[in-house]
Amino acid sequence: MKKQEKIFFLLVLVFLAVISRLIPHAPNFTPIAAISIWIFVYFSKKFFWLPALILLISDFWVGFYDWKLMLTVYFSFILVGFLGLFLRKNKSVWRVAGIAILGSIIFFITTNLAVWAFSPWYAKTFWGLIDCYLRALPFLRNSLGGDIFYLSIFVLVSEKMTEYSKFYLTKNKKRVII
């Protein structure tokens, strides 16, 4: 893929991801973590900031909230993206699912720790932290479902496109030679 095609593709991806946050959906059932991981698998690490851009653009419509929580959410998605480095060489079904699950757990732990630490909603005690994590479990369920669903689709489509392009290029080279 040429550089201009990659940039166009990423712009379309940003647009679709922003739309995915604006249409009705289950809380935390979005493709943002999957996109973050997928970028590290199929694109350069220099695009690590793309999930934060998607969030920032969509937050103009969804609404901004406490800046400390927002920064934690943005950086959590960037952190989760680095898990994609473990998928670059080996993209088995189990590894994709495992990375998606691990990404959901990392996001869950970091963002809910921030909610407990930065918001007035929970007592700043051990039991307040436990309460925060327990009340967030439904969001974890949705994150797990969304991350596994979207990452599986992104990897499957990317692998099929790669497979198809290799076949197509090989087929065209044979035609040129004949």
Q: How far is CA 9 from CA 4, 5, 13, 14, 169, in A?
A: 8, 6, 6, 9, 20
Question: What span, in angstroms and rounded, lies between the C-alpha atoms of 26 and 161?
Answer: 29
Reported pTM: 0.83
In tens digits, the chain (178 residues) has pLDDT values of 567 777 787 888 888 888 888 888 888 888 899 999 998 888 877 888 888 888 888 888 888 888 899 899 999 999 999 999 988 888 888 999 999 999 999 999 999 999 999 999 999 999 999 999 999 999 999 999 999 999 999 888 888 877 776 666 555 555 444 3
Question: What span, in angstroms and rounded, lies between the C-alpha atoms of 62 and 47?
Answer: 23
Backbone region of residue 63 per phi and psi (left: phi > 0; alpha: psi in -120 to 50; beta: other values) = left
